[in-house]
């Protein structure tokens, strides 16, 4: 399981200005398996530094990586085995001790950042006196806070001392908590992380020349003085940002704030000591373990979905979309954007069709305006969408997906119409969020061609696609759906044809609890705030507003009919809002202010007092029970799939590890069900 | 159209490495070596702005893999030259580089462009000579050439047969001198100036390729005498008196004389004329003799007008034949290869032409008393290539 060990190789170059040591970090793999630092790497670094100490007459050192990669940080495969403060502290101390020796070398040292430098990979560069960076470097980042850690091998201390707290916060806090945003070589240079920016073509040659000119005294590197600025203001602003992201549910970013603030006054030694303590406190936490688990799920497990038939997928040359509403238009755009395929979009009224086509073209025009594609390319791509009122235009489509109103009768009619128009072997997909796919296919001549293909809103951002195998879905249809999802760069998950499938079933179960609590006396805001503190990306009623009341009510109805009122009750108050044509709970644009119309219509059944802990307990216990049922019903392969789906379909945070990891580690599953989900 | 004067302003090359896993460049791409040369040429000549370069012409014997896909175009793009710079590749085996130079020069002479970069590259580690070639069976079934013609070492043995008076000892003596001249040139720092150091990847860490891997200053006559003759039992051609297998890239900047004056760069050489000529493939090493006669005739000069000769040393015997045919003094004529030649430096096929031009530039800059010089190579399958140059700095 451990990563290949990154070795530090030493070479000596007799340059015109004297002997230069070249230290190369290389794990012997290609750029797809980047350098990482394990205990073995730290031993190799120490040995390399011993070799340097034994060599006389060294005038300078250049540290660099293997081709295209500098280093991607610590080898995290050991994290699950760390359970005490002392172990975590030792991880920090070990890294500091090995790397600090670079700082103590008595000659100019240069880190030539030739490729991705992430986490510990970026940290080691900070121990050199100078840095160069290639314009072509795609990824510079401190992802630690995203993974339940802090940059604890000098990252918090040295970054703050090098570029000041404001920019350090940008890298360590803001970028990490914005979907782990990575910056490129040019941005990193502008941030002050490097002293020189060079083209990729001759990057190491120019870096060596730079080092030689420092050694000869020809170049004296000058840096703008570090602005400490109004540190408490910067920190409180950053804390507000962290609160909005994790609502106090993840300790790491808060600890990083303390380290950055401290680094403005501590010396390096004290900063390193505080980093060690932070790692001691953090590595053992549930949030850190969950994050590493989630990272592995998304980056490894998701690439090999379970249950894909071993059938060669059907080639897709043209796509049909039934419907031209917002969802349908997003799908049409995605197919063109990712696959460059022509798309036929059909609806029942010309104005709907025109609106959908205009949306797709507008998306490409926007990309052109942002300079991401050329005007001519935007025109070409926009020209790939064709609007129609006639199903006959689907005749040459290989894959037709429907995204019409969520009503079985309508969906069946649409499929019958499409089937009569398309080729005998065309695949029909439905983007239904809760209806039975088997029933939808039941009256077709070829029901085996039907597959569920359920996206999540907003389509461009949420990675998940639930692939639904109906009773008669053929291996070819299923294999094609998985292949297509992969080409669309989506995370596909095989889900059983069952009401609400996976993600919506869990979210609606949660929504039903929340509505019931409001019915019994809780406030909308109170419920939202209590649940946000779990670390959820969106509060339940905020999410409800985004989805829209009618859509959510519809799914609620479906689940109520299938699973009954005990788990999925239909609130009379909720029904009243729908009947009154209400689409939102909160006033548009004003978060946290309940629409007066809602206040008026909603008649509370009781006047019970709720406490935040109680709200969370009710909601979480229901989720645990529903997850248990889902796993027993084999809706998905196992607990990992539940977690992957909640992360990629509902945006649940890494530090919760999706859902089951949280339920297990927070002790909910053991207490409630006397077991754990892990491994099931 | 009247021909315009074409001048060379500068040249540079990578170090020449040994081909194969022990060579510097085993993990380095040939096109990256070309890119290095192009960028260094522009760095050394800041008055030649990237957008002024209109043509980028590269010779390469193997035109596939990292030397494929129209290397002249790909390397222009990879080097960061603007999209407006055109480029193409040529092949005349060992004379690929010289052919790139004379072709680019001809474009300039006819006014097709003003400034060009031209040179050659060969990564013989990645592309052993003829590795993926498929010779037409008719060559052998119809006896168009003898089997020997496809093995360069055997053609050198054949040349010995044609000139029985040239002994193995003479060739070894010539080779020893080549090594000694190179060692002296290195000591005087003349070679280092022409080489751009390149940081190259190895499995034991990045290293800097800043000097040629092949020269053996420790060479002795005794050592040479003991080497095997791999091409013929009791033969005369040994690894010691031939050029070896190498990786390297070399290029020069050419422009019209008017353009040089306009942008204020110092022209070094003026192309006086050139000629290519075919000979029987079995004795390909004879090629420089007819090519040189033709080039002299074209330019109205005689061998006595030529003060400096850069002759590629594919094999020592081929050089001794040339000396004999043109009355040069054996074993060491001061006009011939004063810095040594391919026997010591190595011969990454298509790159050698540009190296010869650089050596001639060096000689001319030291010897303003010389007016004309030449660069000449023999070519596999029986050709010779000769270009005659005028020393612009001559007095």
Determine how many CB atoms are found less than 10 A away from the CB of residue A179: 10
For residue B376, name the pLDDT band (cuts at 50, 70, 90): very high
CB pairs A-B closer than 8 Å: 47
Rounded to whole angstroms, how far apart are CA atoms A33 and B304? 63
CATH number, residue B256: 3.40.47.10
Query: Is A430:A450 a contact under the CB 8 Å cutoff?
Result: yes
> Which of B79, B197, B205 is opposite residue A201, by nearest beta carbon?
B79
Using DSSP's 3-state secondary structure scheme, residue A112 falls into strand
- pLDDT given for residue A647 in this prediction: 97
Q: Would you say residue B163 lies in a domain?
A: no
Q: Is A178 exposed, middle or buried (0-12, 13-18, 19+ CB in 10 A)?
A: exposed
Candidate from B39, B205, B206 with C-beta closest to A202: B39
Separation between Cα atoms, residue B5 and residue A9, nearest integer Å: 52
How many folded domains does chain B comprise? 1
Mean pLDDT to the nearest integer, A353-379: 97
Which positions in chain A have a beta carbon within 8 angstroms of at least one beta carbon in chain B?
A: 9-11, 13, 15, 22-24, 26, 28, 64, 66-67, 199, 201-202, 204-205, 208
What sign results for the dihedral spanned by CA atoms A248, A249, A250, A251? positive
Q: What is the pLDDT of residues A7-30, one digit of tens each?
A: 999 999 999 999 999 999 999 999
Q: Which helix (H) or strand (E) is B97 found in, with range?
A: helix B96-109
**Dihedral pair phi/psi, residue B308, rounded to 5°:** -145, 130
Q: What is the DSSP letter of B239?
A: G
Judging contacts by C-beta atoms under 8 Å, the chain B residues touching residue A6 are none
pTM above threshold 0.90: yes
All residues at 6 or more sequence positions from A236 whose CB lies less than 8 Å from its CB, including other chains? none
* A267 and A325 part of one domain: no
User: Token digits for A89?
Assistant: 């502290």
**Alpha helices, DSSP H, located in A217-325:** 231-246, 251-263, 268-282, 286-299
Position A1 pLDDT exceeds 60:
no
- Whether residue A428 is found in the same domain as residue A453: yes
Task: Give A11→chain B minimum CA distance, Å.
Answer: 6
Res A591: pLDDT:
66
Q: Which among A26, A202, A208 has the least Cβ separation from residue B36? A: A202
Q: Which DSSP helix (H) or strand (E) runs through A409?
A: helix A408-421
A466, A557, A626, A641: the catalytic one is: A466
Q: Contact at 8 Å (CB) between B312 and B376? A: yes
Residue B117 belongs to some domain of the structure: yes
**Which CATH number belongs to the domain containing residue A393 in this structure?**
3.40.50.720
pLDDT over 70 at B344, yes or no: yes
Q: What is the residue-wise DSSP string for A68-130?
A: TEEE--B-GGGGGG--SHHHHHHHHHHHHHHHHHHHT-SS-EEEEE-SEEETHHHHHHTTSSE
Mean pLDDT, residues B275-287: 97
Average pLDDT over residues B21-25: 96
> Residues of B with CB below 8 A from A66's CB?
201
Cross-chain residue pair B197–A205, CB shorter than 8 Å: yes
Cα angle, residue B235 at apex, residues B230 and B241 outer, rounded to 5°: 70
Residue of chain B with shortest Cα separation from A26: B205
Nearest CA in chain B to A12: B207
Question: Do A398 and A508 share a domain, yes or no?
Answer: no
Please report whether residue B84 resides in a domain: yes
| Residues constituting chain A | 680
CA distance A181 to chain B (A): 28
Asked if B7 and B260 touch (Cβ cutoff 8 Å), the reply is yes
Grade residue B252 by pLDDT with cuts at 50, 70 and 90.
Answer: very high
| Cα Rg of chain B (Å, integer) | 20
In a domain, A644, yes or no: no
- Domain around A538: 503-634
Q: Please provide the average confidence, as pLDDT, over all residues in chain B.
A: 97
Mean predicted confidence (pLDDT) in B352-368:
98
Active site residue B113: no
Kindly state whether residues A395 and A542 are assigned to the same domain.
no
Q: Work out the burial of residue B161: count CB atoms within 10 Å of its CB; fewer than 13 is exposed, 13-18 middle, 19 or more buried.
A: exposed
Please count the other Cβ atoms lying within 10 Å of the Cβ belonging to residue A48. Answer: 23
Q: If 0-12 CB within 10 Å is exposed, 13-18 middle and 19+ buried, where does residue A346 land?
A: buried
Please report the DSSP string for B164-198 in residue order.
TTS-HHHHHHHHHHHHHHHHHHHHTTTTGGGBPPE
Is B1's pLDDT higher than 80?
no
**Interchain contact, A22 vs B203, CB within 8 Å:** no
Decide if pLDDT at B197 tops 80.
yes
Last residue in a domain, options A263, A284, A305: A284
pLDDT recorded at residue A592: 78
Dist. CA A42–CA A50, nearest whole Å: 12
Q: State whether the Cα torsion A418-A424-A429-A430 is positive or negative.
A: positive
B207·A23 Cβ contact <8 A: no
Question: Catalytic annotation on A433?
Answer: yes
Question: What does the alpha-carbon distance between residue A495 and residue A635 come to, in Å, rounded to a whole number?
Answer: 6
The number of domains in chain A is 3
Q: Compute the nearest-CA separation of A154 from chain B (Å).
A: 25
For residue B207, give the nearest of A11, A66, A202 by CB distance: A11
Cβ atoms A2, A75 nearer than 8 A = yes
Domain membership of residue A657 (yes or no) is no
**3-class secondary-structure state, position A621:** helix
User: What is the bridge-based pairing of β-strands A58-65 and A69-71?
Assistant: unpaired
Nearest CA in chain B to A67: B201
* A515 vs A536: CA distance, rounded Å: 17
Q: Count the neighbouring beta carbons within 10 Å of the beta carbon of residue A68.
A: 17
State how far the Cα of A596 lies from the Cα of A609, in Å rounded to an integer: 22
- How does DSSP classify residue A200? S
CB contact under 8 A, B204 and A9: yes
- Decide if B179 contacts B216 (C-beta within 8 A): yes
Phi, psi dihedrals of residue A74, rounded to the nearest 5°: -65, 145
**Average pLDDT over all residues of chain A:** 96
Per-residue pLDDT reduced to its tens digit, A195-204: 999 999 999 9
Do A162 and A51 lie in one domain? The reply is: yes
CA distances from A364 to A44, A332, A339, A373 (A): 50, 12, 14, 8
B246-B247-B253 Cα angle (round to 5) = 120
Please tell me whether residues A423 and A525 are part of one structural domain.
Answer: no
Nearest Cα to Cα of residue A73 among A134, A1, A25, A30: A25
Q: What is the mean pLDDT of residues B74-102?
A: 98
Boundary (domain end) residue, out of A431, A462, A496: A496
Same-domain status, A219 and A86: yes
Distance CA A357, CA A367 (A): 16
Q: Do A11 and B206 touch (CB under 8 A)?
A: yes
Residue B197 with chain A: CB contacts under 8 Å: 205, 208
Whether residue A590 has pLDDT greater than 80: no
Q: For residues A632-647, give the mean pLDDT.
A: 97
Q: What is the pLDDT of residues A540-549, one digit of tens each?
A: 999 999 989 9
Q: What is the CA radius of gyration of chain A?
A: 28
Minimal C-alpha gap between B180 and chain A (Å): 23
If you search the block for the tokens 């008055």, which residue do you land on? B47
Domain limits for position B27: 6-126+245-389
Q: Check residue B395 and give its pLDDT.
A: 76
Contact between B274 and B388 (Cβ < 8 Å): yes
Within a domain: A298: no
pLDDT score of B34: 98
- The residues near B70 (Cβ < 8 Å, ≥ 6 apart) are B87, B88, B89
Does residue B77 form part of some domain?
yes
Together in a domain, A567 and A436: no
Cα(B303)–Cα(B135) distance, integer angstroms: 37
Q: Which residues of A touch B192 (CB under 8 A)?
A: none
B57 falls within a domain: yes
Whether A302 is covered by a domain: the verdict is: no
Task: Say yes or no: A456 and A507 in one domain.
Answer: no
- The encoded tokens of residue B101 equal 């130079």
Give the distance from residue A91's alpha carbon to the nearest chain B alpha carbon, in angstroms: 27
**Same domain? A452 vs A545:** no
Confidence of residue A228 (pLDDT cuts 50, 70, 90): confident
- The fraction of chain A above a pLDDT of 90, given in percent, is 95
* Other CB atoms within 10 Å distance of the CB of residue A663: 29
- CATH number for the domain that contains residue A226: 3.90.226.10
Has residue A270 been placed in a domain?
Answer: yes
pLDDT in tens, B125-145: 999 988 888 999 999 899 999
- Judge whether B319 counts as a catalytic residue: no
- Closest-CA distance, A108 to chain B, in angstroms, reads 18
B78, B79, B206 member nearest A204 (Cβ): B206
Q: How far apart are the first and last CA of chain A?
A: 21
Which of A82, A107, A73, A75 is closest to A3 using CA atoms? A75
Whether residues A254 and A328 fall in one domain: no
| Whole-number Å distance between alpha carbons of B221 and A481 | 74
Q: What is the pLDDT of residue B147?
A: 86
Quote the pLDDT of residue B393: 87
pLDDT-derived band at A373, boundaries 50, 70, 90: very high
* CB crowding B123-160: b at 16 or more within 10 Å, else e: bbbbbebeeeeeeeeebeeeeebeebbbebbbbbbbbb
Q: Which residues of A are less than 8 Å from B205 in CB distance?
A: 9-11, 22-24, 26
Query: Do A11 and B78 count as a contact with CB atoms less than 8 A apart?
Result: no
Task: Give dist(CA A306, CA A641) in Å, integer.
Answer: 9
Residues 6+ apart with CB under 8 A from A217: none
The pLDDT value recorded for residue A656 is 96
Residue A306 lies in a domain: no
Q: Report the 10 Å Cβ neighbour count for A189.
A: 23
How many Å separate Cα A591 from the centre of its chain?
Answer: 24
What are phi and psi for residue B162, nearest 5 degrees? -70, -30
How many Å apart are CA A616 and CA A530, to the nearest integer?
6
Does any domain span residue A451? yes
For residue A47, being part of any structural domain is answered with: yes
Q: Measure the CA–CA gap between A195 and A129, rounded to whole angstroms.
A: 10
| Cα distance between residue B170 and residue B318, in whole Å | 12
Q: SS3 of A519, please?
A: helix
| Digit-coded pLDDT (tens) for A474-518 | 999 999 999 999 999 999 999 999 999 999 999 999 999 999 999
Q: Which residues of B are less than 8 Å from A202 in CB distance? A: 35-36, 39
Residues A272 and A369 in one domain: no
- Backbone dihedral region of A595: left (phi > 0), alpha (psi from -120 to 50 degrees) or beta? beta
Assigned token pair, A416: 């019958």
Q: From B79, which residue of chain A is nearest by alpha-carbon distance?
A: A201
């Amino acid at each position: 399981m451990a990563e290949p060990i990154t070795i530090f190789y030493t070479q000596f170059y007799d340059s015109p200005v004297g002997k230069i040591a070249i230290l190369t970090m290389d794990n012997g793999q290609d750029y797809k398996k980047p350098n990482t630092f394990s205990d073995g790497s730290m031993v190799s670094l120490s040995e390399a530094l011993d070799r340097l100490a034994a060599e006389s007459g060294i005038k300078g050192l250049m540290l660099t990586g293997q081709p295209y990669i500098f280093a991607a940080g610590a080898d995290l495969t050991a994290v699950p085995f760390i359970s005490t403060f002392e172990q975590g502290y030792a991880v920090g101390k070990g890294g500091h001790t090995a790397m600090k020796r670079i700082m103590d070398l008595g000659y100019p040292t240069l880190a030539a950042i030739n490729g991705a430098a992430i986490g510990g990979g970026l940290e080691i560069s900070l121990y050199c006196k100078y840095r160069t960076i290639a314009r072509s470097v795609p990824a510079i980042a401190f992802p630690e806070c995203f993974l339940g850690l802090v940059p604890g091998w000098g990252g918090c201390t040295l970054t703050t001392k090098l570029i000041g707290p404001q920019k350090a916060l940008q890298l360590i806090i803001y970028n990490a908590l914005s979907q782990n945003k990575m910056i490129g070589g040019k941005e990193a240079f502008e941030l002050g992380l490097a002293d020189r920016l060079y083209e990729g073509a001759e990057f190491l040659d120019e870096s060596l020349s730079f080092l030689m000119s420092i050694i000869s005294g020809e170049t004296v590197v000058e840096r703008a003085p570090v602005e400490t600025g109004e540190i408490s203001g910067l920190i409180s602003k950053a804390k507000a940002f962290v609160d909005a992201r994790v609502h106090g549910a993840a300790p790491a970013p808060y600890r990083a704030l303390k380290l950055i603030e401290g680094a403005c006054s501590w010396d390096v030694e004290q900063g390193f000591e505080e980093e060690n303590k932070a790692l001691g406190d953090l590595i053992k936490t549930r949030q850190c373990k969950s994050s590493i688990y989630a990272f592995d799920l998304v980056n490894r497990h998701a690439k090999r979905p379970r249950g894909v038939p071993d059938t060669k997928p059907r080639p897709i040359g043209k796509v049909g979309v039934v419907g031209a509403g917002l969802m349908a238009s997003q799908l049409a755009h995605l197919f063109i954007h990712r696959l460059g395929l022509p798309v036929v979009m059909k609806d029942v009224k010309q104005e709907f069709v025109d609106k959908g086509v205009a949306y797709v073209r507008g998306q490409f025009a926007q990309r052109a305006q942002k300079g991401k594609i050329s005007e001519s390319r935007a025109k070409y791509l926009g020209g790939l969408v064709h609007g129609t009122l006639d199903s006959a235009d689907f005749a040459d489509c290989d894959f037709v997906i429907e995204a019409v109103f969520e009503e079985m009768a309508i969906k069946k009619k649409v499929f019958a119409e499409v089937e009569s128009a398309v080729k005998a072997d065309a695949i029909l997909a439905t983007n239904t969020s809760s209806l039975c796919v088997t029933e939808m296919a039941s009256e077709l001549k070829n029901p085996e061609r039907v597959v569920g293909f359920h996206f999540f809103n907003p389509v461009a951002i949420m990675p998940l696609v639930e692939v639904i195998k109906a009773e008669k879905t053929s291996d070819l249809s299923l294999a094609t759906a998985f292949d297509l999802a992969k080409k669309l760069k989506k995370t596909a998950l095989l889900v059983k044809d069952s009401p609400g499938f996976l993600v919506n079933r869990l979210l609606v179960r949660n929504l039903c609890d929340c509505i019931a609590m409001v019915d019994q006396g809780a406030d909308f805001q109170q419920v939202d705030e209590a649940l946000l503190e779990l670390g959820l990306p969106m509060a339940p009623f905020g999410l409800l507003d985004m989805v829209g009341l009618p859509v959510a009510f519809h799914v609620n109805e479906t689940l109520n009919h299938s699973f009954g009122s005990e788990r999925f009750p239909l609130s009379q108050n909720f029904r009243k809002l729908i009947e009154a044509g209400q689409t939102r709970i909160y006033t548009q644009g004003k978060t946290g202010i309940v629409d007066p119309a809602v206040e008026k219509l909603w008649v509370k059944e009781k006047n019970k007092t709720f406490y935040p802990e109680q709200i969370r307990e009710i909601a979480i216990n229901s989720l645990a029970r529903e997850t248990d049922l889902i796993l027993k019903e084999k809706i998905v392969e196992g607990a990992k799939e539940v977690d992957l789906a909640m992360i990629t379909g509902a945006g649940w945070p890494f530090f919760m590890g999706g859902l089951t990891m949280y339920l297990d580690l927070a002790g909910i599953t053991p207490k409630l069900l006397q077991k754990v989900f892990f491994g099931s | 159209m009247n021909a315009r004067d074409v001048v060379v302003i500068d040249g540079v090359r990578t170090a020449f490495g040994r081909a194969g896993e022990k060579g510097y460049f085993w993990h380095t791409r040939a096109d990256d070596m070309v890119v290095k040369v192009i960028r260094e040429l522009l760095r050394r000549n800041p008055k030649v702005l990237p957008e002024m370069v209109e043509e980028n012409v590269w010779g390469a014997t193997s035109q596939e893999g990292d030397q494929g896909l129209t290397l002249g175009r790909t390397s222009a793009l990879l080097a960061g030259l603007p999209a407006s710079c055109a480029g193409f590749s040529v092949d005349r085996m060992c004379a690929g580089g010289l052919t790139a130079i004379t072709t680019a020069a001809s474009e300039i002479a006819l006014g097709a462009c003003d400034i060009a970069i031209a040179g050659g590259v060969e990564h013989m580690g990645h592309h052993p000579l003829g590795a993926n070639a498929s010779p037409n069976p008719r060559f052998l079934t119809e006896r168009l050439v003898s089997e020997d013609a496809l093995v360069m070492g055997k053609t050198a043995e054949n040349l010995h047969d044609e000139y029985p008076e040239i002994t193995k000892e003479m060739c070894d003596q010539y080779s020893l001198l080549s090594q000694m001249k190179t060692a002296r040139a290195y000591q005087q720092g003349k070679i280092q100036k022409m080489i751009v150091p390149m940081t190259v990847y190895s499995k034991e860490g990045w290293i800097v390729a800043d000097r040629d891997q092949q020269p053996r200053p420790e060479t002795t006559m005794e050592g040479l005498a003991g080497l095997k003759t791999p091409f013929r039992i009791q033969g005369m051609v040994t690894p010691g008196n031939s050029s070896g297998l190498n990786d390297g890239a070399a290029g020069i900047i050419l422009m019209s004389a008017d353009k040089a004056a306009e942008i204020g760069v110092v022209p070094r050489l003026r192309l006086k004329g050139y000629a290519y000529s075919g000979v029987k493939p079995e004795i390909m090493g004879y090629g420089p003799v007819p090519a040189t006669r033709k080039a002299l005739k074209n330019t109205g000069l005689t061998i006595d007008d030529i003060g400096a000769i850069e002759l590629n040393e594919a094999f020592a015997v081929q050089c001794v034949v040339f000396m004999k045919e043109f009355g040069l003094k054996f074993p060491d004529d001061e006009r011939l290869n004063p810095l040594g030649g391919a026997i010591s430096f190595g011969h990454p096929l298509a790159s050698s032409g540009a190296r010869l031009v650089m050596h001639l530039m060096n000689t001319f800059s030291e010897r303003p008393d010389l007016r004309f010089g030449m660069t000449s190579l023999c070519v596999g399958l029986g050709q010779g290539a000769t270009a005659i140059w005028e020393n612009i700095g001559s007095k």
